[in-house]
Structure 1
Amino acid sequence: MNIETLVNNMTPELYERLSFCAETGKWPDGSVASEAQRGHAVQLVMAYQAKHLDSDQMMTVGSNGELVTKSKSEIKAQFVSSDSNDSIATFKNDEL
């Protein structure tokens, strides 16, 4: 079975289990994962994220396997509100 088939059939619950293993080196039940298991978990998590999750991270792996980087202006644009009339509420001392 190839990795693409695995990723296409992976449930969100399985993704969470694999992500936990990749991050901690342990399975959710507390048993220690072997180096091979952890390595496979990392690969599957990265493939799942590239295929199914829209990331707001600066650097990610795209669905085609290529490294995707966002420019500084693209990152800034994420945080700029579409409504430019938003303002911060201001109060005078006697109003508090």
Structure 2
Amino acid sequence: MNYQEMVANLTPDLVARFKTAVELGRWPDGRSVTPQQREDCMAAIIAYESLHVSAQERTGYIDKGAKARASRAAPETQPLKFEDEPSGEQQ
């Protein structure tokens, strides 16, 4: 079985288990995820989502358009100006 066939055979349930394993660092049975397994799971998640999930719903998606719109809509800020206290006695 080649890589494309493996990705085609992934199910949403299996991908969800991979996500949980990557997030928690443990498999459902409690065994630790090795660094190589974590890397393989992340690659499988990315490959699966690139074929079956819209870009806006993929793991790690950042809506740069919304961020750009928010920064354009934000009012301009003015720097704070600190004034020295006048010398002499304070009342």
| TM tier, smaller | 0.5 to 0.7
Question: The residue matched to 2:54 in structure 1 has which SS?
Answer: coil
CA distance in 2, matches of 1:11, 1:57: 17
| Greater strand proportion | 1
TM-score, normalised relative to structure 1: 0.55
| Greater helix proportion | 2
Percent identity over paired residues: 28
Superposition CA RMSD, Å: 2.8
The alignment covers a number of residue pairs equal to 67
CA distance in 2, matches of 1:7, 1:39: 15
Report the CA distance shift for 1:35/1:71 in structure 2 as closer, same or farther (over 3 A).
closer
Report whether the alignment pairs 1:8 with 2:8: yes
CA distance in 2, matches of 1:16, 1:57: 14
Structure 1 unpaired stretches of 5+: 61-68, 77-96
TM-score, normalised relative to structure 2: 0.58
Structure 2 unpaired stretches of 5+: 70-91
CA distance in 2, matches of 1:48, 1:18: 11
* Structure showing greater relative contact order (alpha-carbon pairs closer than 8 Å, 6 or more residues apart): 2
Q: What code does the residue aligned with 1:72 have? A: G
